[in-house]
Structure 1
Amino acid sequence: MIRDTARLNALLDDIRAFVRDRWHPIEDQVDRAGEIPQAVVDELRRKGYFGWSIPEAYGGLGLTSEELVLCAMELSQASVALRARVGTNTGIGSEALVADGTPAQKERWLPRMARGELTGCLALTEPDAGSEATNVQTRARREGDHYVLNGVKRFITNAPLADVFTVIARTDAGTTGSAGLTAFIVERGAGLRTGEPYRKMGQSGSPVSDVHFEDCRVPAANVIGEREGEGFRTVMKVLNKQRLHLAALCTGPAMRMLELAMAHTSRREQFGQAVASFQLVQGMIADCRTEIFAARSMIVEAARARDRGEDVVLAASMCKYFASEMCGRVADRCVQMFGGSGYIADFSPIERYYRDVRLFRLYEGTSQIHQLNIAKLALREHEARAR
């Protein structure tokens, strides 16, 4: 659903200009330094990029699902650090509040998140709760008008610089699985501790670390929706929307890599002709372009379905699975089209993109988990039709 075509086109033009003129020239600097210059972060704040999916009533742009994925495809035609810096606020860092927060909770945190004054993140994954997200061991014990949290979260994007954390913890010690889980908003000053940023294969400039809760006291008023035991339902609402968002964020880098590869192969000559004129290279270009088109089409259609109020659990899982795997295939072909220059960071950004996008097939559900989920839901639909 696009509410105002002219307004959306103006936003898309602004994103393209920012990515091309401001971000691409500093990608290597961000990669080497491991951080984004503060002036660039401030510019992202002024432009409202932190509040894309936060409702207008709370200072955001209130983008629909279709508008969000279209913007995400433009923003992500850049090194992943850019979208990661704003992406948690426009996705998993704010969505639990948007979906299930009380009016008071929304008013307290969402306007500052929309302005980029606060950076949010989702603290769900643990050392023993990754693909099996319901195996959460972090405990939250009620003491009067507070909860006391103890546990460790792992692989938390933006944790080293986050101000507010959506935390899933077990409030009922006698439960297992999805039962007894509660979602909290925990502020950094409450006593949590973040670890040193990990050394990673890629995505330099996007800090990721553990989060430690050691007798961390959180007001009972910070239970999202003020409803204990609803944490799993809340996080699934977050992930179903985020999987569409992430699928779009996988598609943008593929677009960028293909453009770089086509420019390179059009310039470079071998045997007296441009490399792009060779049929085997053209085959790789054709495969990349076709798969990007397929991913984009899937994502936009699923986003439109979500805007219509339809159940997109299966569609979102298929989009994330296909787009992340597609991006990996495009990255591999583009390195091949660059030849030796694609392997050397001094000669092209393709080497960095290749490393950056590898994570897409792992986080927010590995490809294998999505395969199982897709099959389960497809068989469930089949059985329902057969009855």
Structure 2
Amino acid sequence: MERNDFASFIEAFRDKIAVLFTERNDENRMGITRGLPPYVLRQVLEDDPLKVYIPKEYGGRGGKIHEMLTLMEASSYQSLPLALMLGINGGLFLQPVANYALDEAKSNVFKRFIEQKNLGGLMITEPDFGSEALKMQTVFSKSDNRYSISGTKHWAGLTGWADFWLMTAREKSNSGELGRDIGFFIHDTNNGGIDVEEYYNNLGLYMIPYGRNRVNISVPSGYRLQPKTTGISMMLDLLYRSRLQFPGMATGFLHRLLDEAINHCKTRFVGGVSLFNYDQVKERLANLQSYFTSSSAMSSYIAENIHSGEDISRFDILANSVKPVVTDYMQEAAQSFLQLVGAKGYRLDHLAGRSLVDSRPFQIFEGSNDILYQQVTESVFKLMRKSKINNLYDFFKSYVHTHKAVDYFKDLFNFEVDHKMAQRNLVQLGRTIGRLITMNLTIDLGSKGFNTDMISNSLKVLQNE
């Protein structure tokens, strides 16, 4: 699909969801109701937004990253849970199917998504194995032309709703031992075998159902994803690809909070003076603007440099930096917005309060931010050893994602690294590296003609961080 055609589509989609969430319904009332009214979901899917994740040869728009990010941005401006719902379908189900499934499975799945408006999700997490996903206890075995899969999964978005699940499991040998690799299987819920044992009362994201599922399914051999190397590498590719699309959701969400905060501060008077004129308020607004600019910089880079079908399992430093930094910004922005709005925002039926609980889990799922920051540091150390560089500044000066920003902090990074530093220091250094990479991306965005005042403000905030 040509860019102009997509521009027309996304403009119409923005208008439709704005009407759905603000005119035909009260978004604040919808925000405190579990699930989503069926007619709203039908209206959202009516114009096939999920086609952006489907290859052209199967009737889709071609799986262009910039279109996926734009869809996420448009959706999250109106509703963060709606954007996540579309992101689960696209990033965690349709993209892996497009990249790794056999034609037999692709044809069926994509046809049902387009013609029947089906939904799909991903099941990885288990009650005893969240961050330790590689130790999952869900097992599979093969007999004739089918795989039998059994276990327990939880916290899968769209629990009880999805028409298809991408199920993960480890192979069980005849001796009962579990293999180290991970298998991915496409399960059609029409075939049964997934029982929801409990629906969770999730703290936020009321629109999306979560729960605990008992799994006992049978999947045709043609519905197993085919990794290019190993299942673990395929899982990393899947997760990194998804993490790199978080800035799409974040940019729309941050844009909405910035717009709402500015409007509130201009119309709210305290002591006869507009909130907008208070110095502390200006600082909060400057931070909100910085978060939006940095998220936009991430989206711009990813749209231009990450391609559909490309194996990105080695993009660990970028993916593991972008996701925690931008989700930290989402939560910090929500905290600031609530602080500016005050007591009337401390309600689930107000955007400020809802944003706080809706954005919080983004720091946890698809990799806890503390763990990802540690992994960023460890990945940098690994590259330094490989390059035989021990001075952090020297490494950052030569590294593609930091070389433009590191001179702002030469004194800070000019030291020999201790590869055996304590875990808390690994996390803290990873947090710093993530913001250095963000600054580098923001400088890149500035060179493309983005608003110079916003770039300058963002660089100033990043330096202070």
**TM-score normalised per structure 2:** 0.77
Letter aligned with residue 279 of structure 1: D
Bigger Cα Rg:
2
Tell me, yes or no, if the aligned pair for 1:48 and 1:114 is still in contact at 8 Å. yes
Alignment match, 1:51: 51
Matches within 5 A, 1:26-37: 26=25, 27-37=27-37
Aligned residue for 1:159, secondary structure, equals: coil
- Call closer, same or farther: CA 1:24–1:175 in 2, change over 3 Å: farther
Q: For residues 152-187 of structure 1, give each alpha carbon's deviation from its aligned partner in whole angstroms, at most 9, with x where no partner exists.
A: 01110002101111011111447667x332111112
Aligned residue for 2:291, secondary structure, equals: helix
Alignment match, 1:333: 336
Aligned residue for 2:204, secondary structure, equals: coil
Alignment match, 2:181: 180
CA shift, 1:43, in A, is: 1.8
Matched, 1:152 2:155: no
Matches within 5 A, 1:3-22: 4-22=2-20
Matched, 1:342 2:340: no
Tell me, yes or no, if the aligned pair for 2:102 and 2:223 is still in contact at 8 Å. no
Can you give the 5+ residue segments of structure 1 that lack an aligned partner in the other structure? none
Aligned residue for 1:90, secondary structure, equals: helix
Alignment match, 1:117: 117
CA distance in 2, matches of 1:52, 1:146: 31
Can you give the 5+ residue segments of structure 2 that lack an aligned partner in the other structure? 390-465
Letter aligned with residue 92 of structure 1: L
CA distance in 1, matches of 2:231, 2:302: 25
Q: Structure 1 residue aligned with 2:369, among 363, 367, 370?
A: 367
CA distance in 2, matches of 1:116, 1:14: 21
Alignment match, 1:265: 265
CA distance in 1, matches of 2:9, 2:177: 47
CA distance in 2, matches of 1:171, 1:243: 27
Aligned residue for 1:287, secondary structure, equals: helix
CA distance in 2, matches of 1:228, 1:72: 28
Letter aligned with residue 131 of structure 1: S
What is the identity percentage for the equivalent residue pairs of Structure 1 and Structure 2?
21
CA distance in 1, matches of 2:299, 2:177: 36
Tell me, yes or no, if the aligned pair for 1:194 and 1:212 is still in contact at 8 Å. yes
CA distance in 2, matches of 1:223, 1:62: 22
Alignment match, 2:378: 376
CA distance in 2, matches of 1:128, 1:251: 33
CA distance in 2, matches of 1:116, 1:252: 28
- In the comparison of the two structures, how many residue pairs are matched? 381
CA distance in 2, matches of 1:228, 1:142: 20
Aligned residue for 1:160, secondary structure, equals: coil
CA distance in 1, matches of 2:305, 2:358: 30
Tell me, yes or no, if the aligned pair for 2:347 and 2:354 is still in contact at 8 Å. no
Q: For residues 255-307 of structure 1, give each alpha carbon's deviation from its aligned partner in whole angstroms, at most 9, with x where no partner exists.
A: 21121111111111111121111111011000110122012202321332213
Over the aligned positions, Cα root-mean-square deviation in angstroms equals 2.3
**TM-score normalised per structure 1:** 0.91
CA distance in 2, matches of 1:30, 1:54: 29
Q: For residues 118-177 of structure 1, give each alpha carbon's deviation from its aligned partner in whole angstroms, at most 9, with x where no partner exists.
A: 211001111122112211110112222222222101110002101111011111447667
**Larger RCO: 1 or 2 (CA < 8 Å, sep 6+):** 1
Matches within 5 A, 1:166-245: 166-173=166-173, 179-188=180-189, 189-214=191-216, 216-225=217-226, 230-245=230-245
Alignment match, 1:277: 277
- Call closer, same or farther: CA 1:345–1:221 in 2, change over 3 Å: closer
CA shift, 1:116, in A, is: 5.5
Alignment match, 2:254: 254
